[in-house]
Amino acid sequence: MVERVRVKAMMPPGHVRAPAYLRGKQGVVERPLGAFHNPEQLAYGLPAEKKPLYRVRFRMDELWGDAAENPGDTLDAELYDHWLERL
Amino acid sequence: MPHDHPDHTHDHDHGLSPSGHPYRADNDEPLTYWQRMEIAVRELLIEKAKISPAEIAAQIEAMDARSPANGAAVVARAWSDPAFKARLLADAGAASREMGFDIGPLNLIAVENTETVHNLIVCTLCSCYPRNLLGLPPDWYKTREYRSRAVREPRAVLREFGVDLPDSTRIRVHDSTADMRYIVLPARPEGTEQMTEVELANLVTRDAMIGTGLARTP
């Protein structure tokens, strides 16, 4: 089953691994990757709980609109669960 | 790209090297904050006998010994052995270890190029690269130019690398944003049916495993 998600459009300060160009964009879960220690805490030497990580696939026209070279090309990125909202 | 020097105003008083390049300034500036920090931490670890200079040298040697030849051997095995290829695509880390490559705790994903799909690897946030399998990344992989353009205009970037793909080929860009590292399994070139695994490995370039190139044709 295709799981559609949107990357939360939040802009928190500090070290995060969700690139700004993906925030607010919609994609589908390509595969779950398991749980990894949260880099947003690891980066500061804090105890880091494990968070589920997913590979999310975006269409280029979703990311770049009319500027996309080929709308059906795709971009996959790894995003932590707390950055995703289910649609 | 290699012969463009857009940021230089060529000062011809200093002349050009015999190959026509401006001389690079000597890097004898003072150490940066983080360079000093690295030296301080390293010397402390040695002083407290947590680690020896020989161990540090051995680790540097081990890192330097890793090269794209390791990845090329993995690719050639996948081309030659369908069962290995299936294991590589299911768990590239385990498949690499099975071949004897000590890749540490690396979480590796192999993505396969086919007649209709071409994969390209980038790390927009920093310079994540499967070092434990391929060795050090090329300098261009770490530039802002490659990192920003690979996700926005991958086809234009590929053309600059000499890879011109038809619109019918689906391009899949992979941004290594977190814990995974990626290697492209290039498409096996035509006319290689009779080649041995060792011969096949010679066709696999570093760029082919990043996705900015294709495997060589014999």
- Domains of chain A: residue spans and CATH: 4-10+19-86 (2.30.30.50)
The closest alpha carbon to B140, from B114, B166, B160, belongs to B160
For B110, the token pair is 């192999």
Residues in chain B with CB shorter than 8 Å from the CB of A19 are 124-125, 175, 177
Q: What is the DSSP string of B112-143?
A: E--SSEEEEEE-SSS----HHHH-SPPGGGGS
Task: Please give the pLDDT value at position A61.
Answer: 97
Q: Please answer yes or no on whether B172 and A73 come within 8 Å at the CB atom.
A: yes
Per-residue pLDDT at B10: 47
Q: What percent of chain A has pLDDT over 70?
A: 99
Chain A residues contacting B via beta carbons under 8 Å: 17-19, 21, 33, 36, 39, 53, 55, 63-64, 67, 69-70, 72-80
pLDDT higher than threshold 80 for residue B11: no
Look at the block and give the residue holding tokens 């035509």.
B190
Structure token digits, residue B35: 């360079």
Cα B47 from chain centre: 35
- ipTM rounded to 2 decimals: 0.96
State pLDDT tens for residues B22-43: 888 888 889 999 999 999 999 9
Helix axes B68-80, B82-90, angle to 10 degrees: 120
Compute the half-sphere exposure of residue B100: CA atoms within 13 Å on the CB side of its CA.
Answer: 3
Residue B133's nearest CA partner among B83, B75, B68 is B68
Checking if the pLDDT of B8 tops 90, the result is no
Is A73 within 8 Å of B153 when comparing Cβ atoms?
A: no
Supply the pLDDT for residue B27. Answer: 81
Q: Is B124 on the interface with A (CB under 8 A)?
A: yes
Give the chain B residue nearest A35 (alpha carbons).
B179
Residues B30 and A28: their CA atoms lie apart, in Å, by 49
> Per residue in B92-115, pLDDT tens?
999 999 999 988 888 999 999 999
* Contact between residue A79 and residue A18 where contact means Cβ atoms under 8 Å apart: yes
State percent of chain A over pLDDT 90: 98
Q: Is A37's pLDDT higher than 50?
A: yes
pLDDT digits (tens, 9 = 90+) for B61-93: 988 999 999 999 999 999 999 999 999 999 999
Residue tagged 């995060």 (tokens): A16
DSSP states of A32-72 as a string?
EEEEEE-HHHHTTT----EEEEEEEEEEHHHHHGGG-SSTT
Q: What is the mean pLDDT of residues B127-138?
A: 93
User: Do the Cβ atoms of B178 and A75 come within 8 Å?
Assistant: no
If you search the block for the tokens 């970037």, which residue do you land on? B157
Contacts (Cβ under 8 Å, ≥6 apart) of B41: none
Confidence of residue B3 (pLDDT cuts 50, 70, 90): very low
Residue in B closest to A61 by C-alpha: B152
Give the nearest partner residue to B178 out of A39, A64, A69, using CB atoms: A39
pLDDT at B14: 62
For chains A and B, what is the number of CB pairs under 8 angstroms? 63
Q: Side chain identity at A20, as an amino acid letter?
A: A
For residue A33, the chain B residues in CB contact (below 8 A) are 107, 179-180
Q: What is the dihedral of CA A63, A33, A80, B121, to 10 degrees?
A: -40
Query: How confident is the model over B141-200, as pLDDT tens digits?
Result: 999 999 999 999 999 999 999 999 999 999 999 999 999 999 999 999 999 999 999 999
Residues counted in chain B: 218
Q: pLDDT tens-digit profile of A46-77?
A: 999 999 999 999 999 999 999 999 999 999 99
| Whole-number percent of chain B with pLDDT over 90 | 81
Name the fold adopted by B67-210.
Answer: Nitrile Hydratase; Chain A (3.90.330)
Average pLDDT of the residues in B48-62: 95
Q: Tell me the average pLDDT of chain A.
A: 96
Cβ count near B187 (within 10 Å): 16
Distance CA B178, CA B176 (A): 6
Residue that has been written with the tokens 């234009």 in this structure: B156
Higher pLDDT, B5 or A29: A29
Give the pLDDT of residue B17.
82
Q: What is the DSSP letter of B184?
A: E
Q: Binding residue per annotation — B123? A: yes
Sketch the domain layout of chain B as residue ranges.
33-64, 67-210
pTM of the model: 0.87
For B58, the token pair is 């051995």
